[in-house]
Structure 1
Amino acid sequence: MYSKIINSLADLHVAAEELIATFKNDRIFAFYGKMGAGKTTFIQSICRALGSTDNVTSPTFALINEYNTAEFESIFHFDFYRIKDIEEAFDLGYEDYIYSGSYCLIEWPEMIESLLPEKMVEVKIEVHDDETRTITAREI
């Protein structure tokens, strides 16, 4: 289990490094949180912590972006917010990415719940009234 309170954007880099270190053998991370909770921003920090210098943006319309680490390892970033049905995930070859052994960072995983692997890290971002956030993660 991992938990961290985020008071500012400056805290995200440390949280990203801690999350990766805590779940060092895991590659599938599912990010849950309301719209505007900071899922994409946190994923940017995770990609940096993994050594990517690529421009990390939300794949809202493309559904998937690929980034590379300094060692040319792939990081796949999914955003299923606009998916209309499960068939779209199959059409983009979702399973090939998920079972590739590469990092897969999934926003809006609740849209494809039935396709999620049994073993993954569930990351929840909760926004508080004072605009701080709590990030919790657990292996499921």
Structure 2
Amino acid sequence: MRTWESYTLADLPVVAKEMIESLQGAPRVWLFRGQMGAGKTTLSKELLLQLGVGQNVQSPTFSLVNEYQTKTGEIIYHFDLYRLKNIQEALAIGIEEYLDSGNYCLIEWPEQAEELWDFPHVNVEIEAINEVQRKLTLSC
């Protein structure tokens, strides 16, 4: 487990880089948990940039999943499951194929499909301390 006790938006590039380094060899499915507005999407976007995605990163709120390619050709999937009503909707978009791909899967709002996470993954807990500071905890 690794924790960043207090970071701000200005610290985010360093935090994301340290997070990636500390998760070398860890599972590639990362579940982002936290209240609305805690910074899940902001952290996800910075992680995508740090992982080498060169294109404009958008929130997958309406598409449920966005696919990105890094400068080295690796594919990364970014999910936002907030709008799902049940696990059947996750299965309908083929989420199991994405999860089994071996590629990074950054998943916001995993609570919407909790039954799926019965395999090794990384939990990324984000907590808003105040308007500008966040606490980040990683666990596998």
TM-score, scaled relative to structure 1: 0.94
5+ unaligned residues in a row in structure 2: which ranges? none
Q: Which amino acid aligns with 2:10?
A: A
Whether contact under 8 Å (1:5, 1:132) holds in the other structure is no
Q: Which amino acid aligns with 2:48?
A: C
Equivalent residues in 2 for 1:42-121, closer than 5 Å: 42-121=43-122
Deviation at 1:85, TM superposition (A): 1.3
Q: Which amino acid aligns with 2:41?
A: T
Deviation at 1:133, TM superposition (A): 0.4
| CA deviation map 1:84-121 (0-9, x unaligned) | 11111111110110010000000000110001242000
Superposition RMSD on alpha carbons, in Å?
1.2
Deviation at 1:130, TM superposition (A): 5.2
> Residue in 2 aligned with 1:133?
134
> Residue in 1 aligned with 2:33?
32
Q: For residues 10 and 20 of structure 1, what CA distance do their matches in structure 2 show?
A: 17
Q: For residues 101 and 79 of structure 1, what CA distance do their matches in structure 2 show?
A: 19
Whether contact under 8 Å (2:30, 2:122) holds in the other structure is yes
5+ unaligned residues in a row in structure 1: which ranges? none
Deviation at 1:8, TM superposition (A): 2.2
> Where does structure 1 differ by over 6 angstroms across 4 or more consecutive aligned residues?
none
Q: For residues 41 and 111 of structure 2, what CA distance do their matches in structure 1 show?
A: 16
> Residue in 2 aligned with 1:13?
13
Larger mean Cα displacement after TM superposition, 105-114 or 13-22: 13-22
| CA deviation map 1:66-87 (0-9, x unaligned) | 1111011111000000001111
| Count of paired positions | 139
